[in-house]
Amino acid sequence: MSKFSDLLNVAIIACLLGAKVQGAPPVNPTSTASSADPSPTVPYASDDLNEPLWNPNSRIIPEAMRGTLGGSILGPQNVPIELENPSIMAPPTTDHGKIPNAKWPFSLSHNRLQTGGWARQQTVSDLPIAAEIAGVNMKLEAGAIRELHWHKTAEWAYVLNGSTQISTVTPEGQNYVATAHPGDLWYFPPGQPHSLQATADSPEGSEFLLVFDNGNFDESGTFLLTDWLAHVPKEVIAKNFQTNKAAFDHIPGRELYIFPGVPPADNAQPPVSPEGSPPEPFTYEFSKIQPTIHSGGTVKIADSTTFKASKTIAVAEITVEPGAIRELHWHPTQDEWTFFIEGYARVTQFGAQSNARTFDYQAGDIAYIPSPYGHYVENTGNTTLHFLEIFKTDRFQDVSLAQWLALTPPELVKEHLQLSDETIENLKKQKQVLVGPVHA
């Protein structure tokens, strides 16, 4: 009996090592489909169904349960927040380890209310993972002005609604005035003075997203014209402008920040500068750019190759159809700051060393994805998902998982993933960017 057991163990070991068994057909090393399933070095990946268990419109009381895991909640619950975050309350079983919080809703940002508008921000103090980029959501009533100012960081903007007239003067003395419409962009380099004013194109004014290339940026720390002059002796101001002190009797005693004004004319032009106009415009009619259409949605990109003034910020504007995804990918060198304009999304971030965490997002939310975390963006709603991928860089870049595998020697891919020849042959050699749902 002992001898039989020894022979049996040898046979089992031989099979596990892939040795040929007498009388068995030879294994074709180039055909996974014709070979027997090998015993994996590690267990196969989970087949667990990991779809979101509910959504913000579900009429349920969420529970911290997924299949046989977890249990009911006996204490108090904040049901509206739990409905918005199924992947936090009942995460996919593929989540593991520690990824810092990567979600911030603008709805949780303190709002600064002014006569003429409001502003709320997200900085590293709200979302500590967001080291490279900060954002401000601002609304100006028709005619209202975000006063003349400058700041240490560059300013990039995307117009959400209404129209905004911008003005700026370069260090060389060149001046520029233009109007940005919904979907358009503007950009001001660090330290360059500028102003923003809502036009009368919409009776409700203008709302826009401002992005700054430093996570520590604070909107309340900008250099304001009125704040500066309120802290300079009037005799010095008069001497500077070569006039009498009485000319400045009515300057504000403190900052204005946002204040009412008369809507600017549609054809407003700046004073003629002896230095002329800047070589590149500080606005970009991104709204007029035709997007590239993919099976799962659309994408269009603006960086310094197209919006030449924008030296430190690049953007991809993306729509994803229901059931489709922004393909598995990563960005080689730059963190991603994402703003969701409409729809519902799910994003899993992979941070290496078995660390992965899934987050749910909706309109008005901010996501932050450090470089070079692998991730996808899935439309989990039944309407179009619309969002902006924003980067602190002059050039948009991403790496597609599918393209990487398609352009890698097939045998190497097969050794890693045990894919069939057919699956490998069907890998796309061009980026898909957006992938539509698979129809059975």
Query: Which runs of E-coded beta strand occur in 162-308?
Result: 164-169, 175-180, 185-188, 194-198, 206-212, 223-224, 258-259, 283-284, 292-294, 297-302
Which residues lie across from 244 on neighbouring strands?
A: none
User: Would you state the structure tokens that stand for residue 7, as one six-digit string?
Assistant: 């022979």
Determine the Cα–Cα distance for residues 375 and 327; give it in Å rounded to an integer: 8
Strands 175-180 and 164-169: antiparallel
Handedness of CA 89, 91, 95, 101 (dihedral sign): negative
Rounded alpha-carbon distances, angstroms, from residue 256 to 147, 157, 192, 333, 401: 7, 21, 19, 39, 50
Specify whether the CB–CB gap between 100 and 129 falls below 8 A: yes
Specify whether the CB–CB gap between 153 and 211 falls below 8 A: no
Least Cα distance to 365 among 49, 87, 77, 144 occurs for 87
**Residue 96 DSSP symbol:** B
Q: Can you give the C-alpha Rg of the chain in angstroms?
A: 28
Least Cα distance to 223 among 150, 167, 136, 145 occurs for 150
CA 311 to chain centroid: 18
Handedness of CA 257, 263, 265, 271 (dihedral sign): negative
- Is 327 in the active site? no
Q: Is residue 275 helix, strand or coil?
A: coil
> Which residue among the candidates 155, 219, 255, 389 is catalytic per the annotation?
389
Burial (CB < 10 A; 0-12, 13-18, 19+), residue 394, is: middle
Determine the Cα–Cα distance for residues 160 and 180; give it in Å rounded to an integer: 10
**Residue 271 DSSP symbol:** P
One-character DSSP codes across 110-131 = PEEEETTEEEEEE-TTT-TT--
Q: Known catalytic residues? A: 389
